Amino acid sequence: MSWNGFRREAALRYAARHPIPNPFLMTVVLRRLNDWVPEVRRAAVVAAKHAAISTPASTMAEAASYVLPSFRDWGRIGENEIATLRALRAVPEVLIVILDQVENQHAGPMARLLGSMADLPAIDHQLPNLSRSAAQPAVRATATQWLLRGRAEWADGFEKAWVDRRFNEAKRRSVTEHRPLTIAVDWLYTLNQAASDPSPRVRRIAGNALIEDRAKDRPELQQIARQLTDDLYPSVAERGFYYLKHRM
Protein backbone atom coordinates (compact mmCIF):
# COMPACT_ATOMS: atom_id res chain seq x y z
CA MET A 1 0.00 0.00 0.00
CA SER A 2 1.41 3.36 -1.01
CA TRP A 3 1.99 6.08 1.58
CA ASN A 4 0.82 8.55 -1.08
CA GLY A 5 -2.90 9.25 -0.82
CA PHE A 6 -3.11 10.32 -4.47
CA ARG A 7 -1.78 6.93 -5.54
CA ARG A 8 -4.18 5.08 -3.24
CA GLU A 9 -7.07 7.08 -4.64
CA ALA A 10 -5.94 6.44 -8.22
CA ALA A 11 -5.66 2.70 -7.56
CA LEU A 12 -9.19 2.62 -6.16
CA ARG A 13 -10.53 4.56 -9.14
CA TYR A 14 -8.92 1.97 -11.40
CA ALA A 15 -10.53 -0.81 -9.33
CA ALA A 16 -13.90 0.91 -9.79
CA ARG A 17 -13.63 0.29 -13.55
CA HIS A 18 -12.55 -3.37 -13.51
CA PRO A 19 -13.57 -6.63 -11.81
CA ILE A 20 -11.49 -7.33 -8.71
CA PRO A 21 -9.68 -10.63 -9.40
CA ASN A 22 -9.12 -12.13 -5.95
CA PRO A 23 -10.19 -11.92 -2.27
CA PHE A 24 -6.90 -10.31 -1.20
CA LEU A 25 -7.37 -7.26 -3.42
CA MET A 26 -11.04 -7.09 -2.47
CA THR A 27 -9.99 -7.01 1.19
CA VAL A 28 -7.58 -4.16 0.42
CA VAL A 29 -10.44 -2.19 -1.16
CA LEU A 30 -12.72 -2.75 1.83
CA ARG A 31 -9.97 -1.81 4.28
CA ARG A 32 -9.63 1.55 2.49
CA LEU A 33 -13.12 2.38 3.76
CA ASN A 34 -11.20 3.23 6.94
CA ASP A 35 -8.43 5.21 5.22
CA TRP A 36 -7.18 8.35 6.96
CA VAL A 37 -7.78 10.45 3.82
CA PRO A 38 -11.46 11.34 3.13
CA GLU A 39 -10.96 11.35 -0.66
CA VAL A 40 -9.54 7.83 -0.50
CA ARG A 41 -12.51 6.65 1.56
CA ARG A 42 -14.89 8.10 -1.02
CA ALA A 43 -13.01 6.33 -3.82
CA ALA A 44 -13.19 3.09 -1.82
CA VAL A 45 -16.98 3.46 -1.58
CA VAL A 46 -17.23 3.78 -5.37
CA ALA A 47 -14.93 0.78 -5.90
CA ALA A 48 -16.84 -1.37 -3.40
CA LYS A 49 -20.19 -0.55 -5.02
CA HIS A 50 -18.78 -1.45 -8.44
CA ALA A 51 -17.38 -4.71 -7.03
CA ALA A 52 -20.86 -5.72 -5.85
CA ILE A 53 -21.87 -5.83 -9.52
CA SER A 54 -18.72 -7.04 -11.26
CA THR A 55 -16.97 -9.32 -8.74
CA PRO A 56 -17.93 -12.98 -8.04
CA ALA A 57 -19.90 -13.53 -4.84
CA SER A 58 -17.30 -15.98 -3.51
CA THR A 59 -14.57 -13.33 -3.79
CA MET A 60 -16.77 -10.73 -2.10
CA ALA A 61 -17.73 -13.11 0.70
CA GLU A 62 -14.18 -14.21 1.49
CA ALA A 63 -13.01 -10.60 1.69
CA ALA A 64 -16.02 -9.58 3.77
CA SER A 65 -15.34 -12.40 6.24
CA TYR A 66 -12.00 -10.74 7.08
CA VAL A 67 -13.44 -7.25 7.42
CA LEU A 68 -16.87 -7.65 9.02
CA PRO A 69 -15.78 -9.00 12.44
CA SER A 70 -13.80 -5.83 13.18
CA PHE A 71 -15.24 -2.95 11.15
CA ARG A 72 -17.19 -1.53 14.11
CA ASP A 73 -13.85 -0.94 15.87
CA TRP A 74 -12.51 1.23 13.06
CA GLY A 75 -11.96 4.81 14.10
CA ARG A 76 -12.21 6.70 10.80
CA ILE A 77 -15.03 4.92 8.98
CA GLY A 78 -18.10 7.10 8.48
CA GLU A 79 -21.80 6.44 8.05
CA ASN A 80 -21.57 6.35 4.25
CA GLU A 81 -18.78 3.77 4.36
CA ILE A 82 -20.63 1.68 6.95
CA ALA A 83 -23.77 1.74 4.81
CA THR A 84 -21.74 0.55 1.81
CA LEU A 85 -20.23 -2.35 3.76
CA ARG A 86 -23.62 -3.36 5.14
CA ALA A 87 -25.15 -3.29 1.67
CA LEU A 88 -22.41 -5.57 0.32
CA ARG A 89 -22.92 -8.27 2.93
CA ALA A 90 -26.70 -8.14 2.33
CA VAL A 91 -26.37 -9.18 -1.34
CA PRO A 92 -28.16 -12.59 -1.31
CA GLU A 93 -25.40 -14.48 -3.15
CA VAL A 94 -22.74 -13.04 -0.83
CA LEU A 95 -24.81 -13.73 2.28
CA ILE A 96 -25.24 -17.40 1.34
CA VAL A 97 -21.47 -17.88 1.05
CA ILE A 98 -20.78 -16.04 4.33
CA LEU A 99 -23.33 -18.12 6.23
CA ASP A 100 -21.79 -21.28 4.80
CA GLN A 101 -18.41 -20.15 6.17
CA VAL A 102 -19.96 -19.39 9.56
CA GLU A 103 -21.40 -22.90 9.71
CA ASN A 104 -18.44 -24.92 8.45
CA GLN A 105 -15.21 -23.08 9.30
CA HIS A 106 -13.34 -24.68 12.22
CA ALA A 107 -11.07 -21.67 12.82
CA GLY A 108 -11.38 -17.91 12.79
CA PRO A 109 -13.77 -15.43 14.43
CA MET A 110 -16.93 -16.98 13.01
CA ALA A 111 -19.07 -15.97 16.02
CA ARG A 112 -18.02 -12.34 15.56
CA LEU A 113 -18.75 -12.68 11.85
CA LEU A 114 -22.25 -13.92 12.68
CA GLY A 115 -22.65 -11.04 15.14
CA SER A 116 -21.72 -8.55 12.43
CA MET A 117 -24.79 -9.72 10.48
CA ALA A 118 -27.19 -9.79 13.42
CA ASP A 119 -29.18 -6.82 12.15
CA LEU A 120 -30.11 -8.69 8.95
CA PRO A 121 -33.49 -10.48 9.21
CA ALA A 122 -32.41 -12.59 6.22
CA ILE A 123 -30.18 -14.70 8.50
CA ASP A 124 -33.00 -15.71 10.86
CA HIS A 125 -34.07 -18.82 8.96
CA GLN A 126 -30.51 -20.19 9.26
CA LEU A 127 -30.25 -19.77 13.05
CA PRO A 128 -31.85 -23.15 13.96
CA ASN A 129 -29.39 -24.91 11.67
CA LEU A 130 -26.42 -22.94 13.06
CA SER A 131 -27.45 -23.68 16.65
CA ARG A 132 -27.44 -27.38 15.81
CA SER A 133 -24.73 -27.93 13.21
CA ALA A 134 -22.13 -25.13 13.27
CA ALA A 135 -18.56 -26.39 13.61
CA GLN A 136 -17.56 -23.86 16.27
CA PRO A 137 -19.16 -23.95 19.74
CA ALA A 138 -19.09 -20.13 19.87
CA VAL A 139 -21.32 -19.97 16.80
CA ARG A 140 -23.74 -22.57 18.19
CA ALA A 141 -23.84 -20.64 21.48
CA THR A 142 -24.58 -17.33 19.76
CA ALA A 143 -27.33 -18.76 17.56
CA THR A 144 -28.84 -20.64 20.51
CA GLN A 145 -28.89 -17.55 22.71
CA TRP A 146 -30.66 -15.51 20.05
CA LEU A 147 -33.26 -18.24 19.53
CA LEU A 148 -33.95 -18.69 23.24
CA ARG A 149 -34.24 -14.94 23.81
CA GLY A 150 -36.25 -14.37 20.65
CA ARG A 151 -33.98 -11.55 19.51
CA ALA A 152 -30.67 -10.99 17.76
CA GLU A 153 -28.13 -8.83 19.59
CA TRP A 154 -24.99 -7.08 18.41
CA ALA A 155 -22.41 -4.51 19.45
CA ASP A 156 -22.94 -1.29 17.47
CA GLY A 157 -19.80 0.72 18.10
CA PHE A 158 -18.89 2.73 21.17
CA GLU A 159 -20.03 5.77 23.10
CA LYS A 160 -18.25 8.09 25.51
CA ALA A 161 -18.95 7.39 29.18
CA TRP A 162 -17.73 9.89 31.76
CA VAL A 163 -15.67 8.67 34.70
CA ASP A 164 -15.06 12.10 36.25
CA ARG A 165 -16.10 15.26 34.42
CA ARG A 166 -14.02 17.46 36.73
CA PHE A 167 -10.82 15.94 35.40
CA ASN A 168 -12.14 15.28 31.88
CA GLU A 169 -11.78 11.52 32.43
CA ALA A 170 -13.86 9.30 30.20
CA LYS A 171 -13.85 5.80 28.77
CA ARG A 172 -15.33 4.06 25.75
CA ARG A 173 -18.42 1.96 26.40
CA SER A 174 -19.81 -0.58 23.98
CA VAL A 175 -23.28 0.15 22.58
CA THR A 176 -25.53 -2.91 22.22
CA GLU A 177 -28.52 -3.09 19.88
CA HIS A 178 -31.11 -5.80 19.29
CA ARG A 179 -34.08 -6.69 17.11
CA PRO A 180 -36.82 -9.34 17.36
CA LEU A 181 -36.42 -12.49 15.29
CA THR A 182 -38.70 -12.92 12.30
CA ILE A 183 -39.17 -16.69 12.69
CA ALA A 184 -41.19 -18.84 15.06
CA VAL A 185 -38.94 -20.56 17.61
CA ASP A 186 -39.65 -23.90 19.28
CA TRP A 187 -38.31 -22.73 22.64
CA LEU A 188 -38.46 -26.06 24.48
CA TYR A 189 -36.88 -27.99 21.61
CA THR A 190 -34.05 -25.46 21.36
CA LEU A 191 -33.51 -25.60 25.12
CA ASN A 192 -33.34 -29.41 25.10
CA GLN A 193 -30.90 -29.31 22.22
CA ALA A 194 -28.67 -26.78 24.00
CA ALA A 195 -28.70 -28.75 27.25
CA SER A 196 -27.35 -31.80 25.39
CA ASP A 197 -24.76 -29.97 23.28
CA PRO A 198 -21.19 -31.37 23.43
CA SER A 199 -19.81 -27.95 24.40
CA PRO A 200 -20.17 -26.57 27.95
CA ARG A 201 -20.35 -23.11 26.41
CA VAL A 202 -23.66 -23.98 24.78
CA ARG A 203 -24.93 -25.86 27.84
CA ARG A 204 -24.31 -22.72 29.91
CA ILE A 205 -26.61 -20.87 27.51
CA ALA A 206 -29.30 -23.46 28.32
CA GLY A 207 -28.77 -22.84 32.04
CA ASN A 208 -28.98 -19.10 31.55
CA ALA A 209 -32.24 -19.48 29.64
CA LEU A 210 -33.74 -21.53 32.47
CA ILE A 211 -32.80 -18.85 34.99
CA GLU A 212 -34.01 -15.95 32.83
CA ASP A 213 -37.37 -17.67 32.24
CA ARG A 214 -37.80 -19.41 35.57
CA ALA A 215 -41.40 -18.16 35.69
CA LYS A 216 -42.11 -20.93 33.14
CA ASP A 217 -41.89 -23.63 35.80
CA ARG A 218 -42.96 -26.87 34.11
CA PRO A 219 -41.98 -30.52 34.65
CA GLU A 220 -40.01 -30.53 31.39
CA LEU A 221 -37.89 -27.61 32.57
CA GLN A 222 -37.24 -29.24 35.93
CA GLN A 223 -36.04 -32.34 34.08
CA ILE A 224 -33.61 -30.25 32.00
CA ALA A 225 -32.39 -28.49 35.14
CA ARG A 226 -31.71 -31.83 36.84
CA GLN A 227 -29.81 -32.92 33.74
CA LEU A 228 -27.63 -29.82 34.06
CA THR A 229 -26.93 -30.47 37.76
CA ASP A 230 -25.16 -33.70 36.74
CA ASP A 231 -22.86 -31.84 34.35
CA LEU A 232 -19.11 -32.31 34.80
CA TYR A 233 -18.54 -28.55 34.45
CA PRO A 234 -19.36 -26.64 37.67
CA SER A 235 -20.35 -23.52 35.73
CA VAL A 236 -23.09 -25.57 34.03
CA ALA A 237 -24.18 -27.57 37.07
CA GLU A 238 -24.56 -24.48 39.28
CA ARG A 239 -27.08 -23.03 36.83
CA GLY A 240 -29.23 -26.14 37.13
CA PHE A 241 -29.07 -25.98 40.93
CA TYR A 242 -29.94 -22.27 40.89
CA TYR A 243 -33.03 -22.86 38.77
CA LEU A 244 -34.29 -25.68 41.00
CA LYS A 245 -33.76 -23.55 44.10
CA HIS A 246 -35.24 -20.30 42.81
CA ARG A 247 -37.92 -21.38 40.34
CA MET A 248 -41.20 -19.53 40.71
Residue 172 has pLDDT above 80, yes or no: no
Residue 248: per-residue pLDDT? 61
Write phi, then psi, for 52 (nearest 5 degrees): -60, -25
Residue 19: per-residue pLDDT? 85
Mean pLDDT on 119-148: 96
Please check whether residue 141 lies inside any domain of the structure. Answer: no
Please check whether residue 106 lies inside any domain of the structure. Answer: no
Total structural domains in the chain?
1
Cβ–Cβ under 8 Å, residues 123 and 95:
yes
Please check whether residue 179 lies inside any domain of the structure. Answer: no
State the amino acid at position 73 in one-letter form: D
Q: What confidence tens digit (pLDDT) does each residue in 79-131 have?
A: 888 899 889 989 999 999 999 999 999 999 999 999 999 999 999 999 999 99
Residue 209 has pLDDT above 80, yes or no: yes
DSSP state of 21: -
The residue segments making up the domain with residue 21 are 1-89
Of the chain, the percentage scoring pLDDT greater than 90 comes to 59
Please check whether residue 67 lies inside any domain of the structure. Answer: yes
Task: Quote the CA–CA distance of 7 and 204 in Å, as a whole number.
Answer: 51
What is the 3 state secondary structure string of 54-102? HCCHHHHHHHHHHHCCCHHHCCCCCHHHHHHHHHHHCCHHHHHHHHHHH
Please check whether residue 112 lies inside any domain of the structure. Answer: no
